[in-house]
Each structure stands twice: as C-alpha cells, then as structure tokens.
Chain A
Amino acid sequence: MVTEVKKWQWFYRLGSPRWFYEITGRWLPWLLCAASLLLASGLFWGLLVAPPDARQGNSFRIIYLHVPAAILALVGYYIMALAGAVGLIWRIKMSFMVMKSAAPIGAALTFIALFTGAVWGKPSWGTYWVWDARITSMLILLFLYLGVLALQRAFSSAEMAYRASAILALVGTINIPIIYKSVDWWHTLHQPATLKLTSASSIHIDMLQPLIVMICGFYVFYVVALCLFTRAEIIRREATSAWVRALVSNESSR
C-alpha cells in the first residue's frame, strides 16, 4: 500500500497550486519540444510532401489545421467540464483553475475551426458559410464557451465564479449531444444533401498520416497552453502567498 501511495503521490500533489506550478515547470520544456517537433513535422509533411487532392487541389491542406482544432475544441469542452466537476465534487481549487484556463483556449480553437472551415468553404463550396449541421453545432459550441467565459468574468468573488461557471459547463456538457443530434436532424430536414464533406474513412493514407501527426501535435500543444494559462492563474490567485512572493523576488533579483 505504501508503494501504491508513493507511486501516485505526484498526481495527488498536483492538487496543490504550488506543486502544480513546480511540476509543470519541470515538464513544460519537454512538452514544448514535443509540441513544436510534432507540429513542425506535421505541417511540413502535410503542406509540402502530401499529394494534392484530385478534385480540391491544394486547398484541402487546410484540414491539417481545421480537423485538429475542431477535435481539440470539442475535447477541450469535456476537459473543462470534467475539471469543473472534480472541483465541485472534491472541492479542489486547483481543478477550478484548470477549468478556468480551459475556457479561453477552447473558445480560440473553436474559432480557428470555424474560420479555417469558412476559408476552405469559399473555393470548395463557393460560399464562406452554409447552415450545415456540423458548422452550426460548432457555432453553438462557440456560444457555450463564450457563456462560460462571460460568467467567469461577471463575479467579483473568484470562488463564486469558479463554482458558477463549473455548473454552467456541466449543464453544457449534457446539452452538447442533444444540440449535435437536434442540429443534425434539423439539417437533414432543411438542407438538400448536395454538400457533402468527404468522409473521414475515404481519405488516402498519404494524407491521413500527416493529419494524425498534426492531431497528436495539437493535443500536446493543448496541454502546453493549458499548463501556461493555469500557471498564470495560479500566480494571480496565490499572489499573496509566501511562495509566490519568494518566486517573484527571486526573479526580480536575478
């Protein structure tokens, strides 16, 4: 049992803002290296090496940004809600800080997914915007993120803001599948099925490999961004504590 506790100690320690700050400080250089390596090789492979699409030519290459951003935008919402739930149930402040940091990153990724989709849509579909089921769902996801962000900023008490936005994130989590299903159903009702995205399984292996590298790169990048945002939040919240003061005075005396 003792060894079992030891093995997980680093994980439990993440519940303390100070330990989180120190542990992620040690991890960050490695994560940053991995993210830049994956993203650089994925971009090089995807933009220069992979063959152009038979019908779309080179414009398809935007999927190397679009798809990973869309995936992480959705995954990010669940990470945010999960962190909020952990915070609400076990009353862990650190978890709330992670949740708060996940919101702006997720909103930015959702925006990137929508923007790259619009840029790709112009040459391929002849229009920047169509009320396609997936596009509409992503737009509603952006609204959900913006709601969480707005609620976080509305409270003067940080503790209240954490808890309230965690509840909202959880309510949103239950609604995401409902929204997706209802919009999907609405789309088949209203839209003629003339515009179809090439289904994921039909993608050629030469195009798929760099996409997988990019998706992995975005995952690591997401972790890096989440750590950086959370570290900033820790410093902001713990500004009066002794260890942050010591940290700041060390930095400034250097």
Chain B
Amino acid sequence: MARTPSFLAYVRRDVLLAYRRLGDTVAPLIFFTMVCTLVPLGLSPDPQRLSEIAPGIMWIMALLATLLSIERIFAFDFEDGSLEQLLIAPQLIALPVLAKIVAHWLVTGLPLTLLSPLLAMTLSLPTSAYPAMLLSLAIGSAYLSAVGAVGASLTVSLGRGGLLLPLLVVPLYMPIMIFGTATVFYAVDGLHWSGPLAAMGAMLCAALALCPLAAAAALRVTSA
C-alpha cells in the first residue's frame, strides 16, 4: 500500500498550487482593497464618519473577499480529477479537507489580515483598535474558510459561476461577523474586547472540528 501523505504535505501542496496560480490567489486581495476604496467615494471622505463605520466595512469586505475565493478550495481539484483520487484513497477524507481549509486560510485569510492595517489607516480607524482588528480578522477568516468549505463541497460539482454558494454560506457567516465587528468596536470604544474574541475562538474550534467532517460527507455525495 502506498504511503499516505501527511497533513503538512497536503497543506504544502495546496499552498504551492495557489502560488502557481498567483493571479487567482491575489484577486481577492485586490478586490478587498478596491471595494474599501469605494466606501469613502460612496459615503463620505470625512475621517470622523469613516472611523465610525470602519470596523464594519473591514469585516464586510473581508467576508466578501473570502466568498469570492472559497469556491476554488475544491474547484481546481475537482476539474483535474485529483479530488476523485482523494475520495477513493483508503483513508479519512476529513484530514485532507482540514488541510485544504488551512491552506485556503494561509493564501486568503492571512494575507487579508496582514493587509488590513493599511486599509484601516485609510479609513481612519483609531490605532488603538489595530490589535483587536488583526486578531479578530485572523480568527474570523479561519472560521470563514472552514464554514465556506462546507458550502464549496456541496456545490463543487454544479459548475462555476453559480450564485448558489453565497446563498448557502452567508447565513452561516452572520454570527462570526457579529462577534468580529463587536471585537473591533469594543476596542475603538476602549472597552475590554477579549470577551467577543473568546467567543470567536470557541466558534473557530467548533468549526475546525465539525466542518471537515461535514465537508467530507458532502464531497462523498456531490462528487461521487
């Protein structure tokens, strides 16, 4: 029997593949930046008003950017047949699915988080809120990747360009966004923001435990 590749090998493979498709990988980040530019143009360039809504804007844009890219978590592997190989291999599918979630976070969630201070500065978010924003986006985007993987696994065989995936996952994204924006709003107001952040951490733990199982079950159904 062939040696089954380890968890890290799966992560490395997916990150490498994302690097080889650099254009696709960077697109959500450019989208994130561009849409954040729309906000001052559409609402008002007044720093006072911008700083009031900046946490919400950052979070909504990060959510939309993740939505744009989440379809690709399985799509390329489905198209070239490697997903099928994964499914017929004599092993637990949940583990490679978890690796895919981690890899997706490494190529979208983490860069989004690292990019966010730059955009927060243009939206005049108070600097005291930066640690809260970075932590909430880091944890929150990992949750978005995990829950999004379930939606992506359900729709993977339906072809591209569908509006179905956002329809499935946006309702599931709402709780994490509530806590994510609250963390940043608390920090802006000078309150202790560890409470909502802890709630986000708990949700992430649950999602990382359950979502790979749900996504693996869905992949068995939809791409069999």
Question: B-contacting residues of A (Cβ < 8 Å)?
Answer: 88, 140, 143-144, 146-147, 150-151, 154-155, 160, 163-164, 167-168, 170-172, 174-175, 178-179, 181-183, 185-186, 189
The reply to whether B170 and A143 form a contact with Cβ atoms under 8 Å apart is yes
B204–chain A nearest beta-carbon distance, Å: 12
Residue of A nearest to B179 (CB): A182
User: Which A residues touch B178, using CB under 8 A?
Assistant: 182-183, 185-186
The reply to whether A175 and B221 form a contact with Cβ atoms under 8 Å apart is no
Bound-state Cα–Cα, A143 to B155, Å:
17
The reply to whether A151 and B221 form a contact with Cβ atoms under 8 Å apart is no
Interface size class of B (residues with CB under 8 A): 20 to 34
User: Can you offer 10 A-B residue contacts whose CB atoms are under 8 A?
Assistant: A163-B221, A168-B168, A172-B171, A175-B172, A178-B175, A182-B199, A183-B175, A183-B178, A186-B178, A186-B182
Choose, from B61-69, B71-79, B210-218, the stretch at the interface: B210-218
Instruction: Check B17 for interface membership: any CB of A closer than 8 A.
Output: no
A143-B171, A146-B167 known; 12 other A-B pairs, CB under 8 Å?
A140-B174, A147-B168, A151-B164, A164-B221, A171-B150, A174-B210, A175-B171, A179-B171, A179-B175, A182-B199, A186-B178, A186-B182
Residue of B nearest to A136 (CB): B174
The reply to whether A151 and B170 form a contact with Cβ atoms under 8 Å apart is no
Question: A-contacting residues of B (Cβ < 8 Å)?
Answer: 150, 154-155, 157-158, 162, 164, 167-168, 170-172, 174-175, 178-179, 182, 199, 203, 210, 214, 217-218, 221-222
A205–chain B nearest beta-carbon distance, Å: 38
Task: Identify whether the interface residues of A are mostly helix, strand, loop, or mixed.
Answer: helix
Residue of B nearest to A144 (CB): B171
Residue of A nearest to B224 (CB): A160
B161–chain A nearest beta-carbon distance, Å: 12
A110–chain B nearest beta-carbon distance, Å: 12
User: Which B residues touch A186, using CB under 8 A?
Assistant: 178, 182
User: Which B residues touch A179, using CB under 8 A?
Assistant: 171, 174-175
Bound-state Cα–Cα, A43 to B124, Å:
57
B76–chain A nearest beta-carbon distance, Å: 20
B171–chain A nearest beta-carbon distance, Å: 4
User: Which A residues touch B157, using CB under 8 A?
Assistant: 160
Contact A151 to B174, CB < 8 A, known contacts A167-B221, A189-B182: no
Residue of B nearest to A139 (CB): B171
Q: Residue among B154, B182, B203, B217 with the most chain A CB within 10 A?
A: B154
User: Which A residues touch B154, using CB under 8 A?
Assistant: 151, 164, 167-168
User: Which B residues touch A168, using CB under 8 A?
Assistant: 150, 154, 168
User: Which A residues touch B155, using CB under 8 A?
Assistant: 151, 154
Contact A182 to B221, CB < 8 A, known contacts A154-B162, A167-B214: no
Contact A147 to B174, CB < 8 A, known contacts A154-B158, A154-B164: no
Residue of B nearest to A186 (CB): B178
Bound-state Cα–Cα, A155 to B218, Å:
13
The reply to whether B203 and A178 form a contact with Cβ atoms under 8 Å apart is yes
The reply to whether B158 and A182 form a contact with Cβ atoms under 8 Å apart is no
Residue of A nearest to B215 (CB): A167
Q: Residue among A140, A150, A170, A171 with the most chain B CB within 10 A?
A: A171
Bound-state Cα–Cα, A140 to B168, Å:
11
User: Which B residues touch A182, using CB under 8 A?
Assistant: 174-175, 178-179, 199
The reply to whether A164 and B222 form a contact with Cβ atoms under 8 Å apart is yes
User: Which A residues touch B174, using CB under 8 A?
Assistant: 140, 179, 182-183
The reply to whether B217 and A172 form a contact with Cβ atoms under 8 Å apart is no
The reply to whether B164 and A150 form a contact with Cβ atoms under 8 Å apart is yes
B180–chain A nearest beta-carbon distance, Å: 11
Bound-state Cα–Cα, A151 to B164, Å:
7
B196–chain A nearest beta-carbon distance, Å: 9
User: Which B residues touch A178, using CB under 8 A?
Assistant: 175, 203
The reply to whether A171 and B214 form a contact with Cβ atoms under 8 Å apart is yes
Return the contact of B158 from the options A140, A155, A167, A185 (Cβ within 8 A): A155
User: Which B residues touch A172, using CB under 8 A?
Assistant: 171-172
Bound-state Cα–Cα, A186 to B175, Å:
9
The reply to whether A150 and B167 form a contact with Cβ atoms under 8 Å apart is yes
